[in-house]
Structure 1
Amino acid sequence: MTDTNPGAQQPESGHAPGGGEPTPPSPWSPHGHGAVEEPQYASGAAAQPQEAPYVPPQEPPQVLFGSAVGGQPPPYVPPAHTQTYPTPPPSTPPRRSSGLVVRVAVLALLVGGGAGAVGGLLVADRNARTAPSALDTAPPAKQASAPAPSGTVEAVADKLLPSVVQLRTRSGEGSGFVIRQDGLIVTNNHVIAEAAQDGANNTLKVSFQDGQVVDGTVLGRDSSSDVAVVQAKGVSGKTPVALGRSDDLKTGQSVVAIGSPFDLSGTVTSGIVSSLHRPTSAGGDETGQATVLDAIQTDAAINPGNSGGPLVNMSGQVIGINSAIYSPNGGGGGRGQQQGGSVGIGFAIPIDQARRTADEIVKTGKATQTVLGVSVQTPQTGTAGAQVSQVTGGGAAAQAGIQVGDVVTKMDDRRIDTSDALVAAVRSKAPGDKVTLTIGNGTRTVQVTLGGQPAPTN
């Protein structure tokens, strides 16, 4: 065993103390024979000299816990005629190699990190393949067919869809709803106005939810209320709607709109009643007052093609006819609005007004328009109200003593802010109804019995 204890003292000559065989000069000793050559290093390791096979001693000294027995360990004496195994001094790599050592360490670290990343990907991929997946779960059992719960949008749709139709003319489409089994249909005047002008050319087509398509004929219409009645030819057994009432509607009440927006028949949307008694112009005559409605405002999505379709309460009763939408680019109501899409502001004709007009058309082929017998304008002074600019001789207003220049600020309990508001309020009533008009700041009131005249059909 070679003693490499750096604390052992080495003799200065080639002989071991106390006799024995002379110790051959060490090639690392400064007293060795021949020239001393510095060891060459590569990558920080000392070059190893060529050496003879090492022959261990026959009886190596006994070492206990790193020390020879008996105190200081004796110098190691190799057997005769053998070459000692050179023991190089502790090597210290030159400073110039330290950077290389660091780079090698960094390289090893990078290689190790890459191997770890690859291993992580393999583990993640294996975990992904073995993790539970929704695709491995069987779909739930098909629900048994059952009636929709009462008062839900689903129930309203189930009830109303068979009664809603799509109406087509040469240049557009709209909606309507069946009120009699033989295919009697209520819709908007502006939906069928083109077909009415075409006369008997059969340019109006009626499409039912069951796929049946037939010709339609216009029985009568009122451009001032935007209501019309159509007869589908050669049909029977159709499902009529149930008509509700609109005089007891509440703001915030839930409603459903059904129709054919953008040619998508049978479309159902839902929302609420956003406001009541909203003066609105909707199709028909574009002069303004001729088509002003006392409208129900809703946020249920209404789009071009919904016109004429039903607005329905949650009991499945029709409480309005969808007629117009507000469009920021439409510049107002009527046909200009039909070019845009829903922005959450739609308008419907109250069914109380529409029912009265439709009933007259069915029975007589004509409708009667409710009138006050005045022409009005919004006051130019900037104050609220409807200022009378003309009084019709012998009319309802003249008989009640209303004069030019009077500013109407209320009708019954309803506030009148603009001229359109007065027109809408009058149109919501029937001929013969009695109303109380407040003039100016309330110092004067007038009792008026409203009149009637044939409704325009242009």
Structure 2
Amino acid sequence: MPDRLEPRRVVAPEPPAGQQAAFGRPASVPGSFSGDRPRPPARPVPPPPPEAVLRAFGPPAPGHRGLQEPPSGRPGRRRTATGPWWKADARSDPWRDPYAPAGLGAPAVYPEVPAEQTGPVVVDDKGRKRLRLRDVSVRLSALALLAVLLVGAVGGGVGWFLTRSTPESPLLSPGTTLSQVDPGITREPGSISAIAEEVIPAVVSIEVRVGEAGATGSGVVIDGDEGYIVTNNHVVSGADDVEGAEIRAVFSDGSGSAARIVGRDPASDLAVIKVEKPGLVTASLGTSDSVVVGDPVVAVGSPLGLAGTVTSGIVSALDRPVRLAGEGSDTNAVISAVQTDAPINPGNSGGALVDASGALVGINTAIASLGGAGTTGGSIGLGFAIPIDTVRDVAEQLISTGSAVHSSLGVNARSVTDGTRDGALVLNVEPGSAADEAGIRERDVIIAVDGERVGSSEELVVAVDRHAPGEEVTVEIVRGGSSRELRATLDAA
């Protein structure tokens, strides 16, 4: 068995004489360095801070260091070594102990960047890598270009193949039948479509021709057995007693018939014509008392010559005094109109305004335009119809006698107001009239008729026309600043 090796102490060789001369300790020097070694200059001592700074930021008392105590003099509880974040090095860590002394570390050191860098990937002065496109290799560029060309060629080839292999469909396809659905549409009674279906056969278009001139309007059949049709006076007045004038009624089925004027009433803008055609559909006549503001209504007529046109709306006002003066006619009327927002246009004149049950409640006669009420212009949502009670009364008189009679007070007036009260100022009084006999004078202001307030000259005409000729009424007037009541017996006009 071989002997175990005994440990041997290795002694470092003596350094050469040159190294000893350069780095060795001189024999006469007890310390590490020579005492006559030059020393660095002393660091200048900064001047003491101002007293105000010392009071504000200095230690609270001699022997203390770090931050001052809070103004209350009660320092917060210091954490002990048992705390989870309180370590032995807390006194040298400024983020844990506010009383620890501050210290600065070494500045950041960046690796030295060579002046010239080759290749597409370079490093900037902060050690970050950047891609430099100008150094991308030619091989890589050529490979990318080749890939793009290959993809384009494959896509174009596939598209050409698909379009070439798909046959073009024929332009025409004889015997084609399109699909359709047959939903069960339910139209409830009272719907606009149901009303239109009932009323349209009773509404006619009226064509008037005088020489080379012509006009169109509408009418409503009120007696199908005898062929009586009611319309507006201004629709047919131009053809009355004019040689060669023609009036023609065109019905909903497209047939037509010549018509004759039975009678006209310029004071109400109503007229009745007659056709010799049996079996006409007659409109159902309602009553004015059944109409209230807000009721739905439907207007049927031939606006702009378009026969069988149906529009809908509501009753927007009642008893609206409207003065009518038809252009080219002798109409000079003031009516207590039914106002509606159902669209009414020229050509609707004489047509039907019916309620939700299909009953006739008015004859459309005028529309409001920016220039006032009249029959010109287009619908702006304000139309006026003659109430059915007035239509029935005048039409019966025209069919019976060819003319209609109205009540008259015998005055000409205009609307006035004194700022607190409105009325009708009497401009002149007809001699021997009801007003003359009652003692009404010029410059009197009429403010009521039989207890009904009068605020304008139009309201005066409407109030008088509500009474029958020969009826005695009470007229309240203002004269000389005081009011008085007079009794007048209305005349027939």
Question: Does TM-score exceed 0.5, indicating one fold?
Answer: yes
The one of 418, 421, 446 equivalent to 1:408 is 446
Given that 1:242 and 1:317 are in contact with CA atoms closer than 8 Å, whether structure 2 keeps it comes out as yes
The one of 371, 384, 387 equivalent to 2:425 is 387
Residue 29 of structure 1 is matched in structure 2 by none
Secondary structure of the structure 2 residue equivalent to 1:229: strand
Residue 314 of structure 1 is matched in structure 2 by 356
Q: Does 1:350 align with 2:391?
A: no
Given that 1:178 and 1:186 are in contact with CA atoms closer than 8 Å, whether structure 2 keeps it comes out as yes
The one-letter code of the counterpart of 2:469 is P
Q: Distance in 2 between matches of 1:410 and 1:169?
A: 42
Q: Distance in 2 between matches of 1:277 and 1:242?
A: 22
Given that 1:156 and 1:315 are in contact with CA atoms closer than 8 Å, whether structure 2 keeps it comes out as yes
Secondary structure of the structure 2 residue equivalent to 1:221: strand
List per-residue Cα deviations over 1:37-94 (Å, max 9, x = no partner): xxxxxx98xxxxxxxxxxxxxxxxxxxxxxxxxxxxxxxxxxxxxxxxxxxxxxx999
List per-residue Cα deviations over 1:155-203 (Å, max 9, x = no partner): 221221111111001211000011112311000000001121425x351
Q: Does 1:417 align with 2:455?
A: yes
Q: Distance in 2 between matches of 1:307 and 1:223?
A: 14
Given that 1:378 and 1:384 are in contact with CA atoms closer than 8 Å, whether structure 2 keeps it comes out as yes
Aligned residues: 339
Residue 11 of structure 1 is matched in structure 2 by none
Residue 362 of structure 1 is matched in structure 2 by 399
Secondary structure of the structure 2 residue equivalent to 1:198: coil
Which one has the largest radius of gyration? 2
Cα deviation, residue 103, structure 1: 11
Structure 2: tracts of 5 or more residues without a match:
1-118, 121-130, 163-176
Residue 45 of structure 2 is matched in structure 1 by none
The one of 170, 173, 193 equivalent to 2:237 is 193
Cα deviation, residue 308, structure 1: 0.3
List per-residue Cα deviations over 1:113-166 (Å, max 9, x = no partner): 9x99xx9xx9xxxxxxxxxxxxx995332648x8x5332222221221111111
Given that 1:371 and 1:451 are in contact with CA atoms closer than 8 Å, whether structure 2 keeps it comes out as yes
The one-letter code of the counterpart of 1:192 is V
Cα deviation, residue 281, structure 1: 2.6
Q: What does 1:92-241 align with in structure 2 at a 5 Å threshold? A: 96-97=135-136, 139-141=180-182, 143=184, 148-170=187-209, 171-180=214-223, 181-199=225-243, 201=244, 203-232=246-275, 234-241=276-283
Larger deviation: 317-326 or 239-248? 239-248
Secondary structure of the structure 2 residue equivalent to 1:363: helix
Residue 333 of structure 1 is matched in structure 2 by 373
The one of 285, 301, 314 equivalent to 1:259 is 301
Q: Distance in 2 between matches of 1:366 and 1:253?
A: 33
Q: Distance in 2 between matches of 1:283 and 1:98?
A: 96
Given that 2:269 and 2:331 are in contact with CA atoms closer than 8 Å, whether structure 1 keeps it comes out as no
The one-letter code of the counterpart of 2:437 is Q
Q: What does 1:70-81 align with in structure 2 at a 5 Å threshold? A: none
Identity of aligned residues (%): 42
Q: Distance in 2 between matches of 1:94 and 1:209?
A: 84
Q: Does 1:269 align with 2:311?
A: yes
Cα deviation, residue 416, structure 1: 2.5
Closer/same/farther in 2, CA of residues 288 and 195 from structure 1, 3 Å limit: closer
Closer/same/farther in 2, CA of residues 398 and 154 from structure 1, 3 Å limit: same
Residue 485 of structure 2 is matched in structure 1 by 445
Closer/same/farther in 2, CA of residues 250 and 195 from structure 1, 3 Å limit: same
Closer/same/farther in 2, CA of residues 172 and 97 from structure 1, 3 Å limit: same
Q: Does 1:302 align with 2:344?
A: yes
The one-letter code of the counterpart of 1:357 is V
By relative contact order (CA 8 Å, sep 6+), the higher-ranking structure is: 1
TM normalised by structure 2 equals: 0.60
Q: Distance in 2 between matches of 1:343 and 1:445?
A: 41
TM normalised by structure 1 equals: 0.65
Q: Does 1:374 align with 2:411?
A: yes
Secondary structure of the structure 1 residue equivalent to 2:206: strand
Cα deviation, residue 284, structure 1: 3.7
Q: Distance in 1 between matches of 2:435 and 2:272?
A: 31
Structure 1: tracts of 5 or more residues without a match:
1-42, 45-91, 123-135, 454-458
The one-letter code of the counterpart of 2:220 is F
Cα deviation, residue 420, structure 1: 2.0
